[in-house]
């Protein structure tokens, strides 16, 4: 029982703020000022959700986030799997050099290149476009994905690949029919890790997007802060809408999330 | 195995993107750091080491930002590692309730930094925030503070938020490390009559060193990169009290349009991270034992 006490206290430190967020999103600002923690006598209502969708382009931001996340995750996975496959098949010094080049990218924080990256994206005419966000996202998460996938592909049984090569399968066939299907466990872990990063990214929309048409959810939230100031009921309504897809996915795929994000951390 | 030429095609798309959007901008940060470029005009001058001199001697804000970042880093690294390790020890067995608690502790990791920033801004709010309301209702009204508005403690408030955000993830790494320690070693310690503390000191900790290395190194890098959280929560205020290197780079580049100087700080930022990572790996590696 003594062991359980701190465990429960820390659990409450996580749960109470989350419950407050949900409750507050269903209160008015007056009710929040009067009693920040309680449930008002008048009961809870969904007014804020309606208002937020009416007053802002919430559906649009949501779609932008979905598009950017799906394309960024898919192409990061595809390109990094191809590179990891190349490194595994080369299995020589050139392979190690390529691997090291990507490893270097994992150590450099994104903020280091944000200044010249901004002018590059501006010169290429890719500001205010989802394509710009997707291309930058892929480039930034490629190193970590290469790292995770190379580590996994090197453990695949060589005999399987050799058998396919002897049977006359070309590189593409070996990649698509043998290596990718066998790498699905690590690819799905990487996919979850990447989804969380891309869905929640604030820096690149902040740098490259000024047109409301291309705003993604994290940037939209930040703009709500300017618009609604300390109107926490509205801010938390935004927080819940922006977090919902990841929360739902977490509830159902919890084990994979823990494995995926931790794999990313261990190797990052 | 014979390597066919088509294998090289596999590298092209990834390499192209990586080169254009990562290597090239990172390298040009080094180039621009020796110029007075404002980010907009076509013309800029080569200014030698002027930007670096300014960072070291002429910019009191940068000195403050650097100290802030170290305070933030040390607080987060110590607190997060201790919290994660303590709860990993308590929740190491794979029982149903333990798995539930681990999943709950992990939950904040999937939220966006902006969401976490809003939640904690509400907790710390001086007038109707959860923390002050709680203190008042517990009869501790004398201890209510301005939290994020108080320049002397704001950076530590941010550090606590960062720990709440990411400790669950580090806990999982420690659990994996603890579970990989062979049971017979504990058996031997028991037979030898070792106390709990002795067992921890001579069995658990040395064998946990690889996990600890990962946790400390990752937490350090993470605390330097806490751009989103700081940006959304305090914007670096009050009075630069919570400005960290990453937010300062943004500030200098996109608010005062000094791209050359911002590039110089970026290069220094990279060097600082390189040194810290190297020192940590050296320090923690020496603790490692094999069995």
Instruction: Say yes or no for a CB contact (<8 Å) between B173 and A82.
Output: no
Residue A50: inside a domain: no
For residue A15, pLDDT beyond 60: yes
Residue B138: inside a domain: yes
The pLDDT of residue A268: 42
A28 lies in the same domain as A66? no
A106 lies in the same domain as A8? no
Nearest to B173 among A118, A218, A265 (CB): A265
Q: Give me the mean pLDDT over the A131-159 stretch.
A: 91
Nearest to A246 among B32, B103, B110 (CB): B110
The pLDDT of residue A208: 95
Contacts of B289 by beta carbon, 8 Å cutoff, 6+ apart:
B206, B207, B209
CATH of the domain at A223: 1.10.3720.10
A264 pLDDT band, cuts 50/70/90, is: low
Q: Which residues 40-69 of chain A have a CB within 8 Å of chain B?
A: none
Q: Does A113 touch chain B (CB under 8 A)?
A: yes
A13 lies in the same domain as A96? no
Instruction: Say yes or no for a CB contact (<8 Å) between B22 and A113.
Output: yes
Angle at B18 between CA B14 and CA B24, to 5 degrees: 150
Alpha carbon of A99 to those of A43, A80, A92, A232, B1: distances in Å?
A: 58, 11, 11, 46, 20
Instruction: Say yes or no for a CB contact (<8 Å) between B224 and A109.
Output: yes
CATH of the domain at B240: 1.10.3720.10
Q: How far is B115 from chain A (nearest CA, A)?
A: 5
A104 pLDDT band, cuts 50/70/90, is: confident
For residue A250, pLDDT beyond 50: yes
Mean residue pLDDT across chain A: 89
Tokens describing residue A72: 């960024």
Q: Does A156 touch chain B (CB under 8 A)?
A: no
The pLDDT of residue B44: 84
Residue B3: inside a domain: no
A140 lies in the same domain as A253? yes
Work out how many domains chain B is built from and give that number: 1
Strands (E), B187-244: none
Q: A171-224: per-residue pLDDT in tens?
A: 888 999 899 999 998 898 889 989 999 999 999 999 999 999 999 999 999 999
Residue B169: inside a domain: yes
The pLDDT of residue B243: 94
The pLDDT of residue B103: 93
A190 lies in the same domain as A163? yes
Nearest to A79 among B17, B108, B133 (CB): B17
Q: B140-159: per-residue pLDDT in tens?
A: 877 788 888 888 899 999 99
The pLDDT of residue A267: 52
A260 pLDDT band, cuts 50/70/90, is: confident
The pLDDT of residue A63: 96
Residue A52: inside a domain: no
Digits of tens for pLDDT over chain B (291 positions)?
556 778 889 999 999 999 999 999 988 889 999 999 887 777 888 888 989 999 898 888 999 999 999 999 999 999 999 999 999 999 999 999 999 999 999 999 999 999 999 999 999 988 878 888 888 888 887 778 888 888 889 999 999 999 999 999 999 999 988 988 888 888 888 888 888 888 888 888 888 888 888 888 888 888 888 899 999 999 887 888 999 999 999 999 998 899 999 999 999 998 888 888 788 777 766 555 444
The pLDDT of residue A253: 87
Work out how many domains chain A is built from and give that number: 2
Alpha carbons A99 and A83: distance in angstroms, whole number = 9
Residue B290: inside a domain: no
Q: How far is B21 from chain A (nearest CA, A)?
A: 6
Q: What percentage of residues in chain A have a pLDDT greater than 90?
A: 55
The pLDDT of residue A206: 95
A201 lies in the same domain as A223? yes
A36 lies in the same domain as A161? no
Tokens 């970590």, residue? A144
Tokens describing residue A149: 């996938």
Give residue A31's domain range: 4-45
Identify the CA nearest to B135 among candidates B143, B146, B127.
B143
| DSSP-derived 3-state class of residue B35 | strand
Q: Give me the mean pLDDT over the A8-17 stretch.
A: 94
Give residue B46's domain range: 33-285
Nearest to B110 among A112, A250, A268 (CB): A250
Residue A141: inside a domain: yes
A247 lies in the same domain as A121? yes
Identify the CA nearest to B172 among candidates B240, B117, B108.
B108
Residue B178: inside a domain: yes
Residue B26: inside a domain: no
For residue A14, pLDDT beyond 70: yes
The lowest-confidence range among A33-47, A52-66, A206-220 is: A33-47
A41 lies in the same domain as A75? no
Q: Does B15 touch chain A (CB under 8 A)?
A: yes
Residue A230: inside a domain: yes
Residue A108: inside a domain: yes
A66 lies in the same domain as A185? yes
B39 with B263: CB under 8 angstroms?
no
Q: A68-88: per-residue pLDDT in tens?
A: 999 999 999 999 999 999 999
Higher pLDDT, A260 or B114: B114
Total count of residues recorded for chain A: 268
Q: Does A82 touch chain B (CB under 8 A)?
A: yes
Identify the CA nearest to A7 among candidates B90, B15, B159, B223.
B90
Q: How far is A155 from chain B (nearest CA, A)?
A: 17
For residue A255, pLDDT beyond 90: no
A12 lies in the same domain as A112? no
Q: How far is A221 from chain B (nearest CA, A)?
A: 7
Residue B171: inside a domain: yes
A98 with B26: CB under 8 angstroms?
no
A142 lies in the same domain as A27? no
Alpha carbons B243 and B238: distance in angstroms, whole number = 9
Q: Residue B46: beta bridge partners?
A: B35
Residue A132: inside a domain: yes
- Buried b or exposed e, range B60-85, using 16+ CB within 10 angstroms: eebeebbebbbbbbebbbebbbebbb
Q: How far is A143 from chain B (nearest CA, A)?
A: 8
């Amino acid at each position: 029982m003594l062991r359980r006490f701190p465990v429960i206290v820390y659990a409450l430190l996580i749960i109470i703020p989350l419950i407050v967020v949900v409750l507050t999103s269903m209160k008015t600002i007056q009710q929040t000022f009067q009693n920040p923690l309680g449930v008002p006598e008048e009961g809870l209502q969904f007014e804020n959700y309606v208002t937020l969708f009416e007053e802002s382009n919430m559906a649009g931001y949501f779609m932008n986030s979905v598009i950017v996340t799906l394309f960024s995750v898919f192409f990061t996975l595809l390109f990094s799997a191809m590179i990891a496959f190349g490194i595994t098949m080369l299995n020589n010094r050139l392979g190690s050099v390529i691997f090291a080049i990507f490893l270097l990218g994992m150590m450099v924080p994104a903020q280091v290149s944000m200044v010249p990256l901004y002018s590059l994206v501006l010169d290429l005419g890719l500001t205010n476009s989802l394509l710009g966000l997707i291309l930058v996202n892929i480039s930034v998460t490629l190193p970590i994905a290469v790292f995770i996938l190379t580590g996994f592909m090197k453990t695949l049984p060589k005999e399987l690949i050799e058998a396919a090569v002897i049977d006359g399968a070309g590189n593409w066939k070996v990649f698509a029919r043998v290596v990718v299907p066998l790498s699905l466990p690590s690819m799905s872990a990487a996919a979850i890790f990447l989804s969380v990063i891309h869905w929640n990214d604030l820096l690149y929309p902040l740098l490259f997007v000024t047109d409301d048409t291309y705003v993604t959810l994290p940037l939209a939230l930040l703009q709500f802060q300017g618009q609604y100031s300390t109107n926490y009921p509205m801010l938390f309504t935004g927080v819940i809408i922006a977090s919902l897809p990841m929360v739902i996915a977490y509830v159902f795929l919890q084990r994979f999330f823990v494995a995926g994000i931790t794999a990313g951390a261990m190797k990052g | 195995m014979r390597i066919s030429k088509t294998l090289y095609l596999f590298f092209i798309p990834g390499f192209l993107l990586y080169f254009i959007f990562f290597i090239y901008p990172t390298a040009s940060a080094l180039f621009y750091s020796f110029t007075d470029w404002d980010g907009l005009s076509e013309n800029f001058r080569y200014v030698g080491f002027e930007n670096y001199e300014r960072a070291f001697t002429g910019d009191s804000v940068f000195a403050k930002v650097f100290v802030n970042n170290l305070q933030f880093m040390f607080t987060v690294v110590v607190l997060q590692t201790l919290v994660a390790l303590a709860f990993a020890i308590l929740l190491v067995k794979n029982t149903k309730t333990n798995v539930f608690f681990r999943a709950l502790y992990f939950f904040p990791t999937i939220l966006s930094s902006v969401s976490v920033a809003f939640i904690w801004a509400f907790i710390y709010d001086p007038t109707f925030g959860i923390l002050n309301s709680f203190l008042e209702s517990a009869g501790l009204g004398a201890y209510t503070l301005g939290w994020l508005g108080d320049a002397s403690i704001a950076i530590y408030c941010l550090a606590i938020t960062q720990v709440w955000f990411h400790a669950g993830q580090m806990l999982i790494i420690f659990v994996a490390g603890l579970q990989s320690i062979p049971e017979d070693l504990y058996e031997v310690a028991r037979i030898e009559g070792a106390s709990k503390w002795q067992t921890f000191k001579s069995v658990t900790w040395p064998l946990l060193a690889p996990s600890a290395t990962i946790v400390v190194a990752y937490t350090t890098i993470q605390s330097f990169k806490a751009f989103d959280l700081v940006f959304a929560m305090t914007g670096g205020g009050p009075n630069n009290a919570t400005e960290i290197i990453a937010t300062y780079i943004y500030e200098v580049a996109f608010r005062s349009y000094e791209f050359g100087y911002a590039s110089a700080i970026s290069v220094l930022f990279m060097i600082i991270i390189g040194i810290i990572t190297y020192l940590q790996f050296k320090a923690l590696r020496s603790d490692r034992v094999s069995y």
